[in-house]
C-alpha cells in the first residue's frame, strides 16, 4: 500500500475535524478534559459491547476482556463502565415528541394556515376554524392550546398581539431561543444522526443513508446573502412536500399496527427517519494551504466558470483545479449505481467512491 493510500485510510484526520467543533462546544460549557475523557470511554465501551453482542453471547468475564482488548481501556474501568451500561445508567432516553415543534412545523407546512405565498398566516388566537386554537387541537388534545401558546412565547418562536388577540410566528425554523438545554439536545440529535449515517456509509457496504454535499469557494457578501435565501427556500420546499406525506404515512402505519394487534399478528418492524439540510460558510483568508493557493491560481488562468464532469470526478476539498471552484465533497469517481452514492460531509472525504454531480445538477 502506498503512503498516500495509507494516509487516506487513516481516520485520524477525519476525527480531528470532528473533534475541533466538539472541543469548542465543550469549552463554551465548561467541560474539562476529565469529563470528556469519561464520555469518550463510555462511548468506546458501548460501541465495543454492541459489536460483540451482534456476534453472539459471551460470558461476562470474556466480554469484559474482549472490550478491554479492542478499546485499550483498563480492565477495571471496562468492568465499571459495562456494569453501568447494562444497568441502564449510560442509556440516553429516546427523544420525546415535542408538541411545540409539531405545531410549529404544521403551521408552516399546511395550506389552511398559510397565505397565498406559502408563508404562515397570522391566526386569531381562538375560534373553531383556522385559528391558533384549532391548530393546537390538530396536534394534540392532551395539552391546552393556551399552554402550547405559552411555550411558543417562552421560546420566542411566536408573538401574541393581545389587542387583536392574534398569534404570529417570529422565526422560520424551530431553533428555540432562551432554551439552551433544548438547543443542545437538538444539536445532539441532528448532528448525531448525520454522523451515524456518514459512519454507516463508510463502514458498511449497503449505503442505505442518503448523504451529499456541495461546496464552492469565492463568493462575495452579496452572493452569500443570496445563497442563504436560496437554502431557506429549498428547506421550505422540502417541508411543504414531505410533512403532509409523513403525517399520512404515520397515520396509515398506526392503523395497520392496530389492525395487526387486533388480529393477534406479530408486530411489524417500525423505523424512525430524520432528514436534514445544513449550510456552512467560512471566510477565505491567507491561511489557505499552499497547494490550494496554487490550484486556485491555475483555475483562474484556465478561466473555467464551472468544472467539467471529468474535473468534478477528480476534484477534492484539498484544492485541485476543479475542487477549488466547485464540486462535491468526496466526488472521486463514479459509483456502480446511483443508489450507492454518498458524500461524507460529516466525516471528511469518504474513502468510498461517490457519484459525481452532473452539470445539470450543479447549475440547477
Q: How does pLDDT run across 238-250, given as a tens digit for each residue? A: 999 999 999 999 9
pLDDT band at 213 (very low <50, low <70, confident <90, very high): confident
Using the 3D structure, point to which of 169, 190, 213 is the last residue of a domain.
169
Q: Got the DSSP string for 171-225?
A: -SS---SS-HHHHHHHHHHHHHHHHHHHHHHHH-SS--S----EEE----HHHHH
Quick one: 79 and 104 in the same domain? no
Model confidence at 300, pLDDT cuts 50, 70, 90, reads low
Q: Is residue 178 a part of any domain in this protein? A: no
Instruction: Render pLDDT for 252-293 as a digit per residue (tens, 0 to 9).
Output: 999 999 999 999 999 889 999 999 998 888 888 754 444 445
Asked if the structure places residue 176 within a domain, the reply is: no
pLDDT band at residue 92 under the 50/70/90 scheme: low
Give the model confidence (pLDDT) of 145-197 as tens digits: 999 999 899 888 899 999 999 999 998 777 665 667 778 888 888 898 998 89
Indicate whether 226 belongs to any domain. Answer: yes
Asked if 115 and 249 sit in the same domain, the reply is: no
Residues 57 and 160 in one domain: no
Looking at the domain assignment, is residue 35 inside a domain? Answer: yes
Q: Report pLDDT digits (tens) over 38-80.
A: 888 998 999 898 888 877 767 777 888 888 888 999 888 888 8
DSSP states of 107-125: HHH-GGGB-TTSPBPPEES
Judgement on whether residues 77 and 117 belong to the same structural domain of the protein: no
The total number of structural domains that make up the chain: 3
211 and 141 inside one domain = no
Domain boundary among 74, 93, 112: 93
Domain boundaries, position 244: 199-259+275-363
Contact 347, 19 (CB under 8 A): no
Return the sign of the alpha-carbon dihedral for residues 284, 289, 291, 293.
positive
Residues 286, 154 share a domain = no
Q: Are residues 154 and 73 in the same domain?
A: no
104 shares a domain with 134? yes
Report the C-alpha gap between 242 and 292 in whole angstroms.
39
Residue 217 and residue 107 share a domain: no
Q: Could you tell me if 351 and 206 lie in one domain? A: yes
Higher-confidence residue of 331 and 146: namely 146
Q: Is the same domain home to 77 and 105?
A: no
Among 64, 93, 122, residue at a domain's last position: 93
Amino acid at each position: 500500500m502506498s503512503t498516500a493510500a495509507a494516509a487516506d485510510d487513516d481516520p485520524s484526520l477525519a476525527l480531528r475535524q470532528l473533534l475541533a467543533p466538539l472541543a469548542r462546544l465543550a469549552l463554551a460549557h465548561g467541560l474539562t478534559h476529565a469529563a470528556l475523557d469519561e464520555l469518550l470511554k463510555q462511548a468506546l465501551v458501548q460501541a465495543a459491547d454492541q459489536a460483540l453482542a451482534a456476534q453472539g453471547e459471551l460470558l461476562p468475564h470474556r466480554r469484559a476482556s474482549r472490550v478491554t482488548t479492542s478499546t485499550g481501556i483498563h480492565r477495571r474501568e471496562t468492568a465499571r463502565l459495562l456494569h453501568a451500561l447494562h444497568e441502564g445508567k449510560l442509556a440516553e432516553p429516546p427523544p420525546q415528541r415535542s408538541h411545540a415543534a409539531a405545531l410549529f412545523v404544521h403551521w408552516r407546512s399546511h395550506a389552511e394556515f398559510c397565505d397565498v405565498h406559502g408563508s404562515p398566516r397570522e391566526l386569531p388566537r381562538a375560534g373553531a376554524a383556522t385559528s391558533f386554537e384549532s391548530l393546537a387541537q390538530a396536534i394534540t388534545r392532551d395539552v391546552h392550546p393556551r399552554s402550547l401558546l405559552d411555550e411558543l412565547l417562552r421560546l420566542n418562536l411566536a408573538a401574541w398581539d393581545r389587542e387583536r388577540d392574534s398569534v404570529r410566528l417570529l422565526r422560520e425554523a424551530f431553533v428555540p431561543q432562551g432554551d439552551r438545554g433544548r438547543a443542545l439536545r437538538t444539536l445532539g440529535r441532528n448532528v448525531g444522526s448525520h454522523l451515524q449515517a456518514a459512519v454507516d456509509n463508510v463502514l458498511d457496504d449497503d449505503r442505505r443513508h442518503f448523504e451529499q454535499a456541495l461546496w464552492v469557494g469565492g463568493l462575495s457578501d452579496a452572493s452569500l446573502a443570496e445563497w442563504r435565501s436560496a437554502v431557506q427556500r429549498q428547506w421550505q420546499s422540502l417541508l411543504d412536500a414531505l410533512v403532509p406525506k409523513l403525517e399520512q404515512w404515520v397515520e396509515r402505519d398506526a392503523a395497520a399496527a392496530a389492525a395487526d394487534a387486533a388480529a393477534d399478528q406479530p408486530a411489524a418492524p417500525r423505523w424512525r427517519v430524520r432528514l436534514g439540510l445544513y449550510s456552512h460558510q467560512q471566510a477565505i483568508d491567507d491561511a489557505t494551504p499552499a497547494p490550494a493557493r496554487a490550484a486556485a491560481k491555475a483555475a483562474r488562468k484556465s478561466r473555467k466558470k464551472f468544472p467539467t464532469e471529468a474535473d468534478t470526478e477528480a476534484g477534492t476539498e484539498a484544492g485541485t483545479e476543479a475542487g477549488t471552484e466547485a464540486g462535491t465533497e468526496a466526488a472521486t469517481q463514479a459509483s456502480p449505481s446511483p443508489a450507492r452514492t454518498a458524500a461524507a460531509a460529516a466525516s471528511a472525504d469518504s474513502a468510498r467512491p461517490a457519484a459525481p454531480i452532473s452539470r445539470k445538477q450543479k447549475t440547477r
